[in-house]
């Protein structure tokens, strides 16, 4: 179940090579964000990002974004510290899109200067809005937790599906993870589930009977020992 993110190092290298002047989802979606259980709420002109319809594009679930939409992080419902959040918007041509970790070029970011709640950004890269897969990437520069979202222009040519996934605990031969309603799962982050906090490692698996990277203990069920 291992999934990879577009790291800042990767993005920076792409920007340097392509000379692009200045992307979270998820999609690595869901609103959980931060090792301390804090979160961000991503809003668009059409409503909360998680409420937009999804479509399957080349095996990846992406949101369908209406034309002329703006996107922003809402101060109402967000508890993360905006001063530590790096974000970037990136695009990849649809015809060369292979997976969510390759081929994206940044077209807007905040250069590690902190994020402003409620500051609206154009969601779709105007010159290539109809021909590109777009990405919003968010990373806490203090603890490395991150979110990433992917979306494309809703031009009426894609079949929309809403919340095809059922949220809940999943298990395989390695361990337990938690799948959100949009198909994403927490990774290198805490998540509040049914009133209890759980920590998930870099591959998305729940930690148990141990001390988390930020120094908190979790019990045999994975819940934080308060």
Count of residues making up the chain: 226
What pLDDT is recorded for position 8?
37
What pLDDT is recorded for position 40?
81
pLDDT tens for the chain, 226 residues: list them: 323 333 333 333 333 222 222 223 332 333 445 555 567 888 999 998 888 888 988 878 899 999 999 999 999 878 888 888 889 999 999 999 987 767 899 988 888 678 889 999 999 998 889 999 999 988 877 777 777 889 999 999 998 875 556 678 888 888 998 987 667 788 898 988 887 899 999 888 999 999 999 999 999 999 999 8
Retrieve residue 135's tokens: 């990405």
What pLDDT is recorded for position 24?
30
What pLDDT is recorded for position 50?
81
What pLDDT is recorded for position 90?
93
Q: CA–CA separation, 91 vs 97, rounded Å?
A: 10
What pLDDT is recorded for position 36?
57
What is the helix (H) or strand (E) element at residue 9, kind and residue range?
helix 8-18
Retrieve residue 160's tokens: 């929309």
Neighbour-count burial of 135, counting CB atoms closer than 10 A to its CB (0-12 exposed, 13-18 middle, 19+ buried): buried
Beta strands in 1-95 (DSSP E): 42-44, 47-48, 54-57, 60-65, 70-73, 85-93
What pLDDT is recorded for position 130?
94
């Amino acid at each position: 179940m291992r999934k990879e993110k577009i790291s800042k190092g990767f993005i920076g290298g792409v920007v340097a090579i392509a000379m692009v002047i200045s992307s979270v989802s998820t999609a690595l979606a869901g609103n959980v964000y931060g090792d301390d259980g804090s979160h961000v709420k991503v809003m668009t002109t059409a409503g909360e990002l998680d409420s937009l319809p999804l479509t399957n594009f080349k095996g990846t679930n992406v949101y369908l974004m209406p034309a002329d939409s703006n996107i922003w992080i809402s101060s109402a419902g967000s508890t993360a510290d905006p001063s530590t959040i790096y974000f970037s918007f990136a695009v990849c041509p649809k015809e060369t899109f292979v997976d969510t970790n390759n081929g994206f070029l940044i077209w807007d970011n905040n250069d590690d200067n902190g994020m402003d709640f409620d500051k609206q950004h154009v969601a779709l890269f105007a010159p290539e809005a109809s021909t590109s897969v777009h990405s919003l990437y968010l990373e806490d520069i203090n603890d490395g937790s991150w979110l990433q979202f992917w979306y494309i222009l809703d031009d009426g040519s894609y079949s929309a599906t809403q919340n095809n996934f059922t949220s809940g605990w999943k298990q395989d031969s390695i361990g337990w993870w938690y799948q959100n309603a949009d198909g994403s799962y927490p990774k290198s982050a805490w998540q509040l589930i049914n009133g209890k906090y759980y920590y998930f490692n870099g591959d998305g698996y729940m930690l148990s009977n141990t001390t988390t990277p930020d120094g908190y203990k979790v019990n045999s069920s994975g819940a934080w020992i308060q």
